[in-house]
């Protein structure tokens, strides 16, 4: 009975989340506040016993972010990477956020 309790505790207590880094890009070209739209995209990579199912999850997140801004330019991009730990497995996650500026609305500021 005690061994079963220890196994149950080990299975339920092996979870945690770690944020690795958050990176940001520049905000050029500048645009007026009414001409932008905040967009985001998240993609995951599942790993079990060190075997990764999908190695293109970052590209999938980037492609998804670009699809949310058709004909525009994405500026002010932030990328947050994190790992959620499980029992013999983990999930790598990337969340990309950006500001979609339509091409005709962008104004370069030279000072």
Q: Note whether residue 53 is domain-resident.
A: yes
Q: Note whether residue 8 is domain-resident.
A: no
Q: Note whether residue 1 is domain-resident.
A: no
What CATH number should be reported for the domain holding residue 36?
3.30.110
Q: Note whether residue 58 is domain-resident.
A: yes
Provide the number of structural domains found in the chain: 1
pLDDT of residue 7: 53
Q: Note whether residue 10 is domain-resident.
A: no
Q: What angle do CA 40, 44, 74 make, to 5 degrees?
A: 25
Lookup: tokens for 21: 């880094």
CA distance 98 to 69: 10
Lookup: tokens for 69: 């801004």
Lookup: tokens for 23: 């990176």
Output the pTM of the full model: 0.70
The burial class, CB within 10 Å (0-12 / 13-18 / 19+), for 55 is: exposed
More confident residue, 36 or 18: 36
More confident residue, 55 or 93: 93
Q: Note whether residue 38 is domain-resident.
A: yes
Q: Note whether residue 5 is domain-resident.
A: no
Instruction: Using the structure block, give the residue that is written with the tokens 């993609």.
Output: 43
Q: Note whether residue 46 is domain-resident.
A: yes
Q: Which domain holds residue 49?
A: 15-107
CA distance 84 to 7: 21
What pLDDT, in 10s, does the model give residues 19-77?
Answer: 666 777 766 655 555 667 899 999 998 988 888 877 889 999 999 999 999 988 888 89
Q: At 6, is the secondary structure helix, strand, or coil?
A: helix
């Amino acid at each position: 009975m005690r061994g079963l309790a220890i196994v149950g505790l080990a299975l339920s207590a092996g979870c945690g989340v770690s944020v690795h880094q958050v990176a940001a890009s520049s905000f050029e070209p500048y645009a007026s506040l009414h001409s932008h739209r905040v967009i985001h995209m998240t993609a995951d990579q599942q790993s079990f016993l060190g075997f990764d199912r999908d190695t293109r999850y970052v590209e999938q997140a980037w492609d998804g972010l670009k699809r949310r801004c058709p004909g525009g330019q994405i500026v002010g991009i932030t990328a947050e990477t994190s790992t959620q730990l499980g029992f013999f497995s983990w999930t790598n996650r990337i969340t990309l956020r950006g500001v979609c500026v339509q091409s005709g609305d962008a104004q370069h500021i030279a000072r």
